[in-house]
């Protein structure tokens, strides 16, 4: 995984063409300012984490996104969604550009080695895709300074994903913040609201505390904050979605709230449709 390969001249030119298309097609996010915050207007957008469709191919995922009217994807190296292999990744990027799908993040990408070559390969993976946020999993705390070096070199934000009470290193966003509060401002957090709630941490307060270091949100809902297996469609459980969205406005968040729907993996679309409809309804009520 993430092995470096030599490009042919043809592959290099193709990569440049795709990168240019990605750059030219990327839409600017809404400008968020104090006045907008005062009236509660959201400056963030909805996307989908491709892990939602982990049992489906890239072509199927693209068709799902078209039906959902979602044009923004947080892509993962699962199935053939965004392969780690450079040549296969370029092919995937071409498919997304052709379909009008923009990639705003990749992940979860796991940083399990404290080695320059391994970390660089993952930043190159994001760079080829024109992605500005790496959603990262489970680096050791001692690896963070080395990762910070690459964040500075590539100017790509590093969003460490918290994984709940089972995660002995990074259970909640507050644990991430504690480790990164004195590091480069591009070192931050992907707040998984479901995992956060299961740690007993108030999700809204956690978002407030992490503030400008919130780089991505993974949205899901739970019927019980003490039961990992109680995930339900967003809006059916206990997750305070409206308050979460309100806090994202308050901190000036301009990134993406990505639906990560992990249940009904063989037939996720009905639940995904319902979840996105609820989230869109909340946003509509906020004036988006």
The CATH H-level superfamily of 9-19+34-285 is: Divalent-metal-dependent TIM barrel enzymes (3.20.20.150)
CA gap 155, 66 in Å, rounded: 31
The confidence band for 288, taking pLDDT boundaries of 50, 70 and 90, is confident
Output 176 or 35, whichever has higher pLDDT.
176
The domain limits of the chain are 9-19+34-285
Q: Exposure string (b/e) for 76-115, b if CB count within 10 Å is 16 or more? A: bbbbbbbbeebeebbebbbebbebebbbbbbbbbebebee
**pLDDT tens-place string over residues 182-196:** 999 999 999 999 999
What pLDDT shows up at residue 110? 97
Average pLDDT over residues 227-242: 97
7-11, 23-27, 123-127, 278-282: which range is least confident on average?
23-27
Pairing of strands 133-137, 157-161: parallel
Name every residue whose Cβ is closer than 8 Å to that of residue 185 and which is 6 or more positions away in sequence: 212, 213
24-33, 96-105, 141-150: which range is least confident on average?
24-33
Average pLDDT over residues 196-221: 98
Strands (E) in the chain, as ranges, are: 45-49, 72-75, 102-110, 133-137, 157-161, 187-192, 214-219, 221-222, 231-232, 256-259
Residue 30 has pLDDT above 60, yes or no: no
Residue 95 has pLDDT above 60, yes or no: yes
CA gap 215, 217 in Å, rounded: 7
The confidence band for 42, taking pLDDT boundaries of 50, 70 and 90, is confident
**pLDDT tens-place string over residues 155-166:** 999 999 999 999
What pLDDT shows up at residue 11? 45
The confidence band for 40, taking pLDDT boundaries of 50, 70 and 90, is low
Residue 32 has pLDDT above 60, yes or no: no
In degrees and rounded to multiples of 5, residue 257 shows phi and psi of -105, 105
pTM of the model: 0.86
Tokens describing residue 51: 């892990």
The confidence band for 36, taking pLDDT boundaries of 50, 70 and 90, is very low
Give the Å distances, CA to CA, from 129 to 82, 125, 152, 198, 229. 9, 7, 18, 33, 33
Residues in a beta bridge with 105? 74
Average pLDDT over residues 216-222: 98
Strands (E) in 84-206, as ranges, are: 102-110, 133-137, 157-161, 187-192
Residue 217 has pLDDT above 90, yes or no: yes
SS3 108: strand
Give the burial class of 240: count Cβ atoms within 10 A of its Cβ; 0-12 exposed, 13-18 middle, 19 or more buried. middle
Average pLDDT over residues 80-88: 98
**pLDDT tens-place string over residues 235-280:** 999 999 999 999 999 999 999 999 999 999 999 999 999 999 999 9
Residue 29 has pLDDT above 60, yes or no: no
């Amino acid at each position: 995984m993430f092995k470096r390969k030599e490009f042919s001249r043809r592959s290099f030119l193709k990569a440049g063409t795709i990168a240019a298309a990605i750059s030219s097609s990327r839409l600017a996010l809404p400008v968020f300012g104090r006045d907008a915050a005062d009236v509660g207007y959201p400056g963030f957008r909805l996307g989908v984490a491709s892990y939602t469709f982990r049992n489906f191919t890239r072509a199927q995922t693209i068709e799902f996104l078209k039906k959902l009217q979602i044009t923004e994807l947080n892509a993962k190296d699962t199935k053939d969604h965004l392969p780690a292999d450079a040549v296969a990744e370029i092919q995937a990027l071409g498919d997304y550009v052709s379909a009008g799908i923009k990639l705003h993040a990749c992940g979860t990408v796991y940083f399990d080695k404290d080695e320059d070559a391994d970390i660089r390969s993952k930043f190159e993976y994001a760079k080829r895709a024109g992605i500005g946020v790496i959603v990262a999993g489970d680096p050791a705390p001692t690896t963070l300074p080395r990762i910070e070096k690459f964040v500075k070199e590539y100017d790509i934000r590093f969003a460490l994903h918290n994984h709940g009470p089972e995660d002995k290193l990074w259970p909640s966003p507050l644990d991430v913040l504690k480790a990164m509060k004195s590091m480069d401002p591009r070192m931050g957090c992907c707040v998984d609201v479901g995992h956060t709630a299961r740690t007993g941490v108030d999700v809204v307060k956690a978002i407030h505390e992490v503030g400008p270091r919130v780089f991505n949100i993974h949205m899901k809902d739970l019927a019980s904050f003490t039961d990992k297996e109680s995930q339900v469609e967003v809006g059916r459980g206990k997750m305070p979605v409206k308050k979460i969205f309100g806090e994202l406005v308050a901190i000036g968040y301009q990134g993406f709230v990505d639906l990560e729907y992990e249940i009904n993996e063989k037939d996720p679309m009905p639940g995904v449709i319902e979840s996105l409809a609820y989230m869109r309804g909340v946003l509509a009520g906020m004036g988006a």
